[in-house]
Chains A and B, each alone.
Chain A
Amino acid sequence: MILLDRVTKNYNKRGTALKSITLHVEPKEFVIIVGPSGAGKSTLLKLLTREEKPTSGKIIVGGIDYETLKDRKIPLLRRKIGVVFQDFKLLANKNVYENVSFALEVVGMGNKEISKTIPKVLDIVGLTGKELSYPSELSGGERQRVAIARAIARQPKILIADEPTGNLDADHAWDVIRVLEKINKYGTTVILTTHNQDIVNKLKRRVITIRDGQVVSDKAGGKYK
């Protein structure tokens, strides 16, 4: 599903963010990436969403080789990858329904299809009945679940969650993680970055530890060290 072969990323000003990283993620896997701030986690995710280009190395996601990917095809790639951020990135002037439908409108889904899809995804993230609430009226956990609903509404093959629990208290964090597990069970590859030791240890999934731009450990059922 995801293949990184000796990927290096240099920033002109900040030096090297990733040093020759090689990774392989199978379809339907649930992978947790851990590591201290500045270790290169965010850079890795930005490479996957093609917000950044690698300095060297090969990236292949879902059969698409990024090296030969034309700029105008990037939108099509992004439609296959759902992304969730620490700060939710919801649109404050749109309610829950509109925030999710916005993502579907952008990719050109018809209104009928949208009105069929949204109740399903809101059910998955446990927000049925909150359709008309605005982000400001929701708790942090609920907001993050709206963001997840938005990311999965297009049924991406891969879901990237960049510290989705970073701004949440323990209870809400677990709500979000359970939703991610559910989505993974339905067949979506999930890549999660987090600082939350408790979550990593209890999930017992594959854990990749990155430090100073390098993979220092990669273990199934791993722990946060």
Chain B
Amino acid sequence: MGRRLTGFRRVTISGIKNFFRNSWLTIAATAVMVVSLTIISSAVVLNVTAKNAISEISKNLQISIYLKDAASQGQITQLTQDLKSNKSVASVTYVSKAEAQKQFNQTFKSDPTLVAGLQILGTNTLPASLEVSLTDLGQITRVGAVPSESKYENIVDSVTIGKTDVKKTIARAASAQHFITLASIIMAVIFALVSMLIIFNTIRMAIFTRADEIKIMKLIGATPTFIRGPFLIEASMYGLIAGLISSGIVIAGIFSLGIKISNQAEFTATYDFFTSARIIAAMVGGSIIVGIFVGVFSSLLAMKKHLRLKTW
């Protein structure tokens, strides 16, 4: 056990020394990896943000069906069931005339003249309504068409479908999200490949410059693990450092840019999410793990090709 620990310590020290030996290659390899990891984590952050914002805005998307006073309870139930038969309908809430009045008073309590004005008109002014909320934006027109059918002519007074500008915003955000997802996947793949290539070359160079050392190690009875170890440690160092730097960049970005939009309703929850200690830790950890994985994978490829540990 002691021997193993000593061996591990030596392999680690040797790997760290190699990491600092060729500073230009080290900087290049780390820099490219920082770029790829930053792109990957920014993509994740942007995707989550866009998704949350869309669902936040979508919450406001409702169809309001204003009912005629003559509508009977049975007819209303019939309409409610009809609406609910569409899967994208999340809820149908009946708002009675009294409740509508209450909501109006609540909404405009800061504007007493309006409330007073309504009182003059009498308590019977506001119609009862069905508030329909949706989970799928695409279904809004179809659902909106249900109360307009001729059989509901007698009970439905009018139908309001969301606000058109909100709809447009959501549609735009959704297409932007798709674009971001696609573009970031492509970019991440390209940069991950580039950084693999560079690390592959860095380790290959390290193998060539240390060819004598490796040859001697083989001849004096070093195990393959002992020979490979330093290269794996070196490659992991790229991942570790690049992971720290890139998550630092992304987190700094969230704090500096995110704070500016954090008070907008659709971003508040997302901002709180990304600035929580748990998520920050996960982001740092995740970047490091991905970085180390890329590093170790490419160095294993380089060693397989150039270390020739098959022939002793």
> Which one of A57-65, A71-79, A125-133, A172-180 contacts B?
A71-79
Contact call A91/B216, Cβ cutoff below 8 A: yes
Note all chain A residues with C-beta closer than 8 A to B7.
108
Note all chain B residues with C-beta closer than 8 A to A103.
216, 220
Residues of A at under 8 Å CB distance from B? 49-51, 71-72, 74-79, 83, 89, 91, 102-103, 105-111, 150-151, 154
Residue B312 interfacial (CB < 8 Å): yes
Interchain CA distance A211-B68 in the complex, whole Å: 116
Contact call B223/A75, Cβ cutoff below 8 A: yes
Contact call A50/B312, Cβ cutoff below 8 A: yes
Interchain CA distance A77-B10 in the complex, whole Å: 22
Interchain CA distance A110-B4 in the complex, whole Å: 10
Note all chain B residues with C-beta closer than 8 A to A107.
220-222
Q: Mark B203-244, 1 if CB is under 8 A from A, else 0.
A: 000000000110111111111101000000000000000000
Contact call B222/A106, Cβ cutoff below 8 A: yes
Nearest 4 A-B pairs (CB), nearest first? A78-B221, A79-B221, A106-B222, A108-B3
Residue B256 interfacial (CB < 8 Å): no
Residue B2 interfacial (CB < 8 Å): yes
Interchain CA distance A151-B218 in the complex, whole Å: 13
Q: Most chain-B Cβ atoms within 10 A of its Cβ — which of A76, A78, A105, A107?
A: A105
Query: What's the minimum C-beta distance from B102 to chain A, rounded to whole angstroms?
Result: 81
Which listed residue, B6, B215, B220, B224, touches A78 by the CB 8 Å rule? Answer: B220
Note all chain B residues with C-beta closer than 8 A to A78.
218-221, 312
Contact call A79/B220, Cβ cutoff below 8 A: yes
Interchain CA distance A17-B137 in the complex, whole Å: 81
Interchain CA distance A100-B223 in the complex, whole Å: 18
Which listed residue, A74, A108, A109, A151, touches B312 by the CB 8 Å rule? Answer: A74
Interchain CA distance A107-B7 in the complex, whole Å: 8
Across the interface, name the chain A residue whose C-beta is closest to B216.
A89
Interchain CA distance A150-B217 in the complex, whole Å: 12
Contact call B2/A110, Cβ cutoff below 8 A: yes
Note all chain B residues with C-beta closer than 8 A to A150.
220
Interchain CA distance A21-B43 in the complex, whole Å: 68
What would be 30 A-B contacts, judged by CB atoms less than 8 Å apart?
A49-B219, A74-B312, A75-B221, A75-B222, A75-B223, A76-B221, A77-B221, A78-B219, A78-B312, A79-B220, A83-B220, A89-B215, A89-B216, A89-B219, A91-B216, A103-B216, A105-B10, A106-B220, A106-B222, A106-B226, A107-B220, A107-B221, A108-B3, A108-B7, A110-B2, A110-B3, A110-B6, A111-B6, A154-B220, A154-B221
Query: What's the minimum C-beta distance from A86 to chain B, rounded to whole angstroms?
Result: 14
Interchain CA distance A71-B3 in the complex, whole Å: 22
Given contacts A72-B224, A76-B221, 4 further A-B contacts (CB under 8 A): A78-B220, A79-B221, A106-B226, A107-B222
Query: What's the minimum C-beta distance from A53 to chain B, rounded to whole angstroms?
Result: 10
Contact call A71/B312, Cβ cutoff below 8 A: yes
Note all chain A residues with C-beta closer than 8 A to B2.
110
Note all chain B residues with C-beta closer than 8 A to A83.
219-220
Interface residues of B in 1-26 (CB under 8 A from A): 2-4, 6-7, 10
Interchain CA distance A198-B215 in the complex, whole Å: 32
Interchain CA distance A89-B220 in the complex, whole Å: 12
Interchain CA distance A42-B6 in the complex, whole Å: 35
Query: What's the minimum C-beta distance from A123 to chain B, rounded to whole angstroms?
Result: 21
Note all chain A residues with C-beta closer than 8 A to B10.
105
Query: What's the minimum C-beta distance from A130 to chain B, rounded to whole angstroms?
Result: 20
Note all chain A residues with C-beta closer than 8 A to B4.
108
Note all chain A residues with C-beta closer than 8 A to B220.
78-79, 83, 103, 106-107, 150-151, 154
